Amino acid sequence: MRRLGDLEAEIMYRLWAWGRPASARDVLTDINKQRSLAYSTVKTVADILHHKGMLTRRKEGRAWVYTPTCTRQQYTAALMQDALDDNPDLAGALASFVEQMSTEEVDALRSALRAVKRRSSA
């Protein structure tokens, strides 16, 4: 999975945070609270995300309404998996990654590993 561009990420982060379908106009209104963009720019990027398979869309009146095809967690996991797939030294890459983690991140990793172990044992 390819990393999202800046505006692609802005759009996806909003849709993930909102947890509901939204139109390009909804996204534009929120983005324009921080910086000014044209509707056509947001609409074009949302259409690109749709064609990349990151968003589904359906017509609501005259507007398209967009919904993410994956969660933010699934997207992050896919990026991490791609990075690991490209590395010939998997153990070294993971060790380097863990060394850079904060205490909270290490605790979250331990918790995730325990949860996966419990699910696979059940």
pLDDT, tens digit, for every residue of 69-100? 999 999 999 999 998 998 999 999 999 999 99
Q: What is the three-class DSSP state of 21?
A: coil
Model confidence, pTM: 0.83
pLDDT at 122: 77
Q: Where are the alpha helices (DSSP H) in the chain?
A: 6-18, 24-31, 39-51, 72-85, 90-99, 103-121
